Structures are given as structure tokens and as C-alpha cells.
Amino acid sequence: MPLLWKMLSRHDLIWLQVYGNLLTLLQCVKVNPSWSKGYARKGAALHGERRYDEAIAAYEEGLKLEDSPALRKGLQEVQDAKAADAQGDGSEGFGIGKMFSDPNLIGKLATNPRTQKHLADPAFVQKLKMIQQNPKLGESLLSQDPRMIDVLGVMMGIDMQGFSREEGSDELPPGVKSDAIPRSPPSQPAASSSTPRPRSPPPEAKIEDVEMEDDEESKAKTEAEAEKKAGNAAYKTRDFPTAAAHFEKAWEVWPKDMTFLTNLGAVYFEQGDYDKCIETCEKAIEEGRSLRADYKLIAKALGRTGSAYQKKGDLPTAIKYFQKSLTEHRTADILNKLRDTERAQAEEVRLSYLSPEKANEAREEGNTLFKAGDFAGAVKAYTEAIKRDPSDPRGYNNRANAYTKLAAFPEALKDANEAIKADPTFIKAYIRKGQVLHAMRDYTKALEVMQATADLDEDRKHTKEISDLVTKCQQALMSQRTDESEEETLQRAMRDPEIAQIMSDPIMQSILQQAQSNPAALQDHMKNPSVRANIMKLVNAGIIKTR
């Protein structure tokens, strides 16, 4: 292995690194098949080997796990490369030159700490442009300039620093020990171990280059911050086109701060261009992760993407992005938006379920089951009818009847009240309520309901039903009070809080005293609806007796 290493060319070493990374990535996705980034790296490595079909399969597997812009972009690049090769214009060898055809090449290199310093050399930038124009030059320039190894690593998403060395250097690959390599005897006598070897100072030109790069970087950052400040000022005055121009310029000058992109996304959001807002925020998220931006900034971009989807009416996707934002950083604002969106989605689902036609079908099915004596099945069918059309009182009324047959009186009474709430003029619901109260042996309240129902039944279609139920209630009350004295009747009635309140009312006390001396005066008081209702309660309770 050591001798083989010494004999390998730079080109061979690069592709040993590619194969090594590919093996590592294959093991990575095998260990954790749910990690989408592993498939992105695997696809990139396979792309580098021109194993296009396998690369496409890797990217598609990753997209099944996460709809990532990076995966989509990588898939498109492989498909383009495959198409180009099919037409006969692909580059030779391993397709190195093809990797330099990315139009965003310079921008990516500027954001990477390892390659951004190389861009200070105009000659190096010119080489990159030459490769972009003629990809076949890639391999030849790669062997001439060691800086191209860093560029290749950025484009492929792998670290090639471990195999980067100067020609003729004795630097060894990772894991190879120096004592395993036979060395030829030195041509000159070695210096005494006691005499330290003087270190040559770094060339002055390199120090000047570093200072120049730092100066240019500082100027670019200052200019970008000024553009951002101007954009914020325009945004506050709602001059959105100007604000967008400033934020775009800030990112162009200094593509190392994702807030320029999130601010640009906010501009598009305010303009109502939600698709551009989503596109910009997704780019901000992708760039922010590569720049290792603060998780709070990532969360903000995710939340803004969710808000844009919410405005578009795509509630499931909005919920997904709000949840992603909360996993990065939990804020009350995004949490409230998530809850509101979930409620809106639930209401949307409920409304989409409404169908008066299907409600009628379910109610008819319930009627059939009820007649067959399957009251539990009838309850289920009537429940479906209510879900399909909750504004129709017939579903509640029929279910109340089925509950009564099952002796589930509280549920039946609740459904009767819901039917009345859905349609206050639905006489059958009042009659059903009276029947349920009679079944519960609350005869007094059943009488009150029936007396109120008689007033509502203006066309007198239900007179017989109402009269029969009133008679049944009165007979039940008389049988209860046959052996009851007046004092016992009063004590029993006063246990009812409503009766006790009526009896303690000074106005009602005055009316009752007047009625004792002049019974005819009671008829005059009965013309008042509220007084009449109170007197009927007292009659039903047995306190006022009629002849």
C-alpha cells in the first residue's frame, strides 16, 4: 500500500477519494435509510462516476423521504448530464469537467471557507470560467492546479482535503504510518539533532494577499449591511419594489447572511406573491444550513414559508412547515398559527363532508332500522345524517326517538333540545321533548313544554298529539297527589327552585292574595304572558287548584 501510494498520480488519488466516499455513503444509507442527506451525498458521488441511473435512483429515494431543494437540484443535474452524454457532448473520463458547468459555481465557492480565498486570484477565476465554457479542460487543469481539488470537493459535496498534496510531497494518506515507507538515504548529511532547523518565514506576498482578502471581505460586508438598512427603511414605508432591490443587492454583495433572503421573502409576502416568497425562503433555508446559521433564523424562514402556504389555502403544507419551524425554535406566534391552521383544516374537512342528499339517505336508512327494531343501528344511521347535515332538525329528532327506545333519556332530551335549536318552529321536536320528559317522570316540565307547544301550533295540525300528552301528564300528576294534603303539596312544590322563586316574588304574592278574594281578577292577570307562565307553573305544581 505505501509503495502504491507513492506511485499514484494526483488524478488517481482524487478518484480514490471519490470511491472511498461512495463506499462510506453506501454504508451510511444502509445504517440509516431514513436520512435524506445520505442519499444526496450518494447521488453526488454516483454522478461523479457517471453512474447516472444509480444516481437518479439515489436522489429519488431521498425525495421520497423529504422534498428537499438540494435533492431536486441534484436529480435535475444528473438527468441533464445523462441527456448530454446520450447526445455525445459529455466530457471524457469521470466527467470532472461536467461538474464545473453549474451556473452558480462562483457563488457556491464564495460561501465555502476553503474555496473563498482562492477567488481572490483573478487567474484562478479565469480558469474556472474556461472550464465552464469548455468542460473538457477540467481534468487537465485539475492536475495542474491543486486548488481545483478544493473546488471539486465543494461541487461534489465531499471533503478531499485528506488527499490534497503538492507534487513530490511525502505527505501520506490517512491511516498510513510513516515507518511503513522505505526511504532512500539523504543526499546531504542530516543536521545534528541538537541544532534546531530554522523555519523560513512565509512569503510576504502571501501575507499581503490575506490582508487584501480580509479588506475586501470587510468592505463587502459593510456594503451589504448598508443595503439591508436601506431595504428595511423602504419596507417600513411599504415601498416594496425598492426594498426588494436593496435586499437582492445585499445578498449579491455578501452571500453569507441568510437574513437578506428572509427579508426579501417578507417583501414578496406583503406583495401577495406567495410563490416567490416560498421560493426565496426555501433558498434562505438551504443557504442558511450550509452557512450554519442560527436555528432561530432557520425557524423564521420555515414559519414564513408556512404562512405563505396558509395564504395560498394549502393548509396541510402550511401545517408541515409550522411544525418544522417549531422543531427548530418554539415561539408563541408560530404555535398560534399552527393551532389556527389546524382548526381551519378541521373545519374545512367538516364542511367538505356536508351533503344534504347523503344526509337524507342516512336518515331513511335509520328509519328502516328503527322500524325493524334495531334501535342501536338506527342511532348510528341518524348520527351519520346529522354529520352530513347538522342544520336539519329531523336527524336530531329521530335520534332522540331511538334513544328513548333504548331508555337513554338524557341523550334523548339533549337531541330534542338540539332539534329545537336547529329550528325553533319545528313542532315535532317540542312534542318529542315532552314525551322524553314524561318518560323521565318529570310531568310538571312536560306539561309546561306541551302548553308552550300549543301556542306555537298555530295551524293546529298537532292538536291531538299535544292534547293526549297533556292528559297523560295530568293523570300521572293526579295519581301522585291523590293522598297528598295541601301542606304536603306546598312542601313538595317548594323544593323546586323555580316554584320557590315564583312564590317569593312580591308581585306574584300580591296577585295570589288578590285572586283569593276575587278569583275573576286572576283572568285579567293571565293576559300578561309572563304572569300567565308563572301561574301555569303553580297550577301544574298543584299549588293553585282548578275546577
Where are the chain's structural domains?
9-165, 215-353, 488-547
User: How high does pLDDT run on average in the chain?
Assistant: 79
Residues 6+ apart with CB under 8 A from 493: 499, 538, 541, 542, 543
Fill in the DSSP letter of residue 187. Answer: S
Average pLDDT estimate for 130-156 = 71
Kindly state which CATH superfamily the domain 215-353 is placed in.
Answer: Tetratricopeptide repeat domain (1.25.40.10)
Tens of pLDDT, residue by residue over 345-388, are 999 888 888 899 999 999 999 999 999 999 999 999 999 999 99
Report the distance separating Cα 541 and Cα 547, nearest Å.
15
Say what the pLDDT of residue 143 is.
61
> Would you say 325 and 319 are in contact if contact means Cβ atoms under 8 Å apart?
no
Instruction: For the full predicted model, state whether its pTM sits above 0.85.
Output: no
Report the distance separating Cα 303 and Cα 492, nearest Å.
64
Among the residue ranges 184-188, 420-424, 460-464, the one predicted with the least confidence is: 184-188
Report the b/e string of 234-246 with b at 16+ CB within 10 A. bbeeeebebbbbb
* Percentage with pLDDT > 70 across the chain: 77
Tens of pLDDT, residue by residue over 406-455, are 999 999 999 999 999 999 999 999 999 999 999 998 888 888 898 889 88
> Would you say 42 and 26 are in contact if contact means Cβ atoms under 8 Å apart?
yes
Comparing 215-353 with 488-547, is the CATH topology the same? no
* Percentage with pLDDT > 90 across the chain: 38
Whether domain 488-547 has CATH 1.10.260.100 = yes
Residues 6+ apart with CB under 8 A from 330: none
Question: Is a pLDDT exceeding 50 seen at residue 171?
Answer: no
Residues 6+ apart with CB under 8 A from 312: 274, 275
Quickly tell me which residue has 441568510 as its cell.
258
Cell of 239: 415601498
Helices 147-156/122-133 angle, 10° precision: 50
Among 81-85, 178-182, 403-407, the range of highest mean pLDDT: 403-407
Residues 6+ apart with CB under 8 A from 425: 456
Question: Is a pLDDT exceeding 90 seen at residue 158?
Answer: no
Report the distance separating Cα 422 and Cα 401, nearest Å.
17
Tens of pLDDT, residue by residue over 467-495, are 899 888 888 877 767 766 777 777 777 87
Tens of pLDDT, residue by residue over 197-245, are 444 444 444 444 545 556 788 899 999 999 999 999 999 999 999 999 9
